[in-house]
Amino acid sequence: MASGPLIWLLHGPNLNMLGMREPDIYGAQTLESINTQSMSLAEALGLRLEHFQSNHEGELVDRIQLALSQKVQGFVINPAAVTHTSVALRDALAAVALPFVEVHLSNIHRREPFRSHSYFSDKAEAVVCGMGPLGYEAAIRFFHGHLLKPMTPSR
């Protein structure tokens, strides 16, 4: 059975369309492939990673609220479009008070001005943007190296 600290990889609206969605901006890799690579890396590092994507803000809020009862240690999250709009998601992350790393495939600071503002970055442990799928790898490695609390031994 898988063991090790549990991290949730959360993806916001439209990221289910990666691969076919504006490939000049977001690249050719599908979300499924990003998830598979992220799971393999996590496993190699001794982490458990579970992924979730939703096009609905409220579902992302619900999922974040579940994290405490599921003993999640933190999140790697690409909030996608709701990065620039969602007080609700920001408040959910504040409510559960777990560390998170914010990831964007594209460099949001080099695009339309409205994308430069994130409702998450000032609360994030780290922000990665513009590195494409490599950003997820960096975030998982950073989590592994810097953000995990020592596990309480189970009896």
> Which residue, 5 or 77, has its beta carbon nearer to ligand DQA?
77
Pairing of strands 126-129, 72-78: unpaired
Other C-beta atoms lying within 10 Å of the C-beta of residue 75: 24
CA distance 95 to 89: 10
Binding of ligand DQA at residue 16 (CB under 6 A)?
no
Contact 79, 106 (CB under 8 A): no
Binding of ligand DQA at residue 81 (CB under 6 A)?
yes
Could you tell me how many residues of this chain bind ligand DQA (CB under 6 A)?
A: 10
According to CB under 6 A, which one of 35, 53, 54, 83 is a site residue for ligand DQA?
Answer: 83
> Which residue, 38 or 83, has its beta carbon nearer to ligand DQA?
83
Side-chain-side CA neighbours of residue 150 (13 Å): 2
Contact 115, 49 (CB under 8 A): no
For ligand DQA, the binding residues in 110-139 under the rule CB under 6 A are: 115
According to CB under 6 A, which one of 51, 63, 104, 144 is a site residue for ligand DQA?
Answer: 104
Candidate list 11, 51, 104, 144, residue with the active-site label: 104
According to CB under 6 A, which one of 77, 78, 86, 92 is a site residue for ligand DQA?
Answer: 78
Binding of ligand DQA at residue 35 (CB under 6 A)?
no
CA distance 147 to 100: 9
Interacting residues of 114 by C-beta distance below 8 A, sequence separation 6+: 84
The verdict on whether 51 is a catalytic residue reads no
The verdict on whether 56 is a catalytic residue reads no
Active centre residues (catalytic): 26, 104
Contact set with ligand DQA (CB under 6 A): 14, 78, 80-81, 83, 104-106, 108, 115
